[in-house]
Structure 1
Amino acid sequence: MRTVVGNRTVGEVMTGEVVRARPGTTVEEVARLLASHRISSLPVVDHDDKVMGVVSRTDLTRRQAARGRPGPPRRRFLGTVRRAVRVGPARPPAVTARELMTSPAVTVHPEQRVVDAARIMERRRIDRLPVVDEEDRLIGITTRRDLLRVFLRTDEEIRADVAGVLAALVPAHGADRLDVAVRDGVVTLAGSLEPDADASVPLRAAWRVEGVVGVVNRPADGNG
């Protein structure tokens, strides 16, 4: 019988440390955060860390354009950052993240597949997705770069890494007796282990290799 191990999930590639804003965070502070951390957007969370929305560089430049600020988007964004560090005797009421954010936020859950997160990013034309738990509390962030680390590896690179990992299991499981083939990130392990070996061990080991999106076990008799 052919066994397929599940695909990579968002929880495996996400980053747990997240730059975030509160509803009352000023636009100037948001601009500083985006610039200093070199990120394109950040989630806005309430007192319980539930995601209320997302503020992006696009939101900032759109606001500047609405106020009649001249120049291309990057110049308008940098203008917001410069004004954030300027101190004046009389300043207008601060615009906050709550007023500027895009809501509801597009989020994903850690158990969702990486491929599904990639499709959401492509469809919504965004580079970062907040990761939330079952109660919509922020637990991480996943980026286009995180996902590309999974997808942008050649099958040959993946095959070499899987073969190396399996070789490390010898002699405990006889994994060197398995033939490894990779196509589009899906690993096929053909052959048989030692009679008393746990067949799930090489499957789990192969699945942990970066770039692997699925693992197929094909027994030596070819009846899988």
Structure 2
Amino acid sequence: MVRNRTVGEVMSSEVVQARPGTSFKELARLLTAHRISGLPVVDDDDKVMGVVSQTDLTRRQAAPGGAGHGPRRLVDALRRIVGGRPAAAARTAGELMSSPAVTVHPEQRVVDAARIMERRRIDRLPVVDEEDRLIGITTRRDLLRVFLRADEEIRTDVAHALSVGFPGASAISVEVSDGVVTLLGSPPPGADTAAWIRSAWRVDGVIGVMNRLTAGRAGDRTVSPR
């Protein structure tokens, strides 16, 4: 059965979080102890106020012209903060956080959350309920699990989506290689092949769609989801 995974299905409900008054040093300890790159900051009603990341902390701690911002250097810098004395400029989560936070709801599709992460260049998204209260967290790693489906499983779902939604599409062939779907065959006259392609894109795990339908334009072409 074809269905799109939702954020609620892949999120973690155990969330490392901070309050606005959480100290700089405690933030560094939380990030290193839990091996995470960022955490949400919530108020007394568990509503998300912002997000503090590794780079937020190291940016405040580092002197001008200091070391770079590679992952290993960020972690090393945080460990030094935990074991030493923070710079005078370092304060609390409320002052360090990026706000407003980018959040998602549990019923949103995984693919939409992945696009938000890519567009905003972030690695994690707080998940909130209808009242914007924190209920979970989802990361790039969580979302990638959806896109690591077996090609045969993807092919079955694409073929099913086309056969159910577009009777004329049942005669075409569907091939999948490394998540890239290829549609082959001769569509019947008047077929809305653009709709077929959009339907294929909506299947979990699809990272590309190749249009090799003979009724289309000459030559192979990779089609964008939009």
Give TM-score scaled by structure 1 length. 0.64
**Matched residue of 1:139: which SS?**
strand
| Alignment correspondent of 1:144 | 140
1:129 aligns with 2:125: yes
- Matched-pair identity in %: 70
In 2 relative to 1, CA 150–76 (structure 1 residues): closer, same or farther, beyond 3 Å?
Answer: closer
Among 149, 152, 156, the alignment partner of 1:156 is 152
Residues 189 and 71 of structure 1: CA distance in aligned 2, closer, same or farther (over 3 Å): closer
Give the partner amino acid of 1:114: V
Aligned position for 2:60: 63
Q: Does the 8 Å CA contact 2:117/2:123 hold for their aligned counterparts? A: yes
Task: For residues 33-78 of structure 1, give each alpha carbon's deviation from its aligned partner in whole angstroms, at most 9, with x where no partner exists.
Answer: 111111111000011111000000111122124x437212243653
Where does the alignment leave 5 or more consecutive residues of structure 1 unmatched? 160-180, 192-211, 215-224
Q: C-alpha separation between the residues in 2 aligned to 1:119 and 1:150?
A: 13
Instruction: Tell me the CA shift for residue 153 of structure 1.
Output: 1.6
Is 1:113 the equivalent of 2:113?
Answer: no
Q: CA deviation at 1:27?
A: 1.2
Contact 1:128 1:141 in 2 (8 A): yes
2:204 aligns with one of 189, 209, 213: 213
Q: Which runs of 5+ in 2 are unaligned?
A: 165-202, 206-226
**Cα separation, 2, equivalents of 1:13 and 1:152:** 13
**C-alpha distance 144-55 of structure 1, shift in aligned 2 (>3 A):** same
**Higher-RCO chain (CA-CA 8 Å, sequence separation at least 6):** 1
Moved over 4 A (4+): 91-94, 186-191
State the secondary structure of the residue aligned to 1:146. helix
The 1:96/1:123 distance shift into structure 2, 3 A limit, reads same
2:157 to 182, 187, 191: 182
Whole-angstrom distance in 1 between the partners of 2:65 and 2:122: 24
**Map 1:1-224 → 2, pairs under 5 A:** 6-65=3-62, 67-68=63-64, 70-73=66-69, 74-75=72-73, 78-86=76-84, 95-157=91-153, 181-183=156-158, 187=160, 213=204
**How far did 1:87 drift?**
6.7
Cα RMSD of the aligned pairs, angstroms, is 2.9
1:75 is matched by which residue type in structure 2? R
SS class of match (2:39): strand
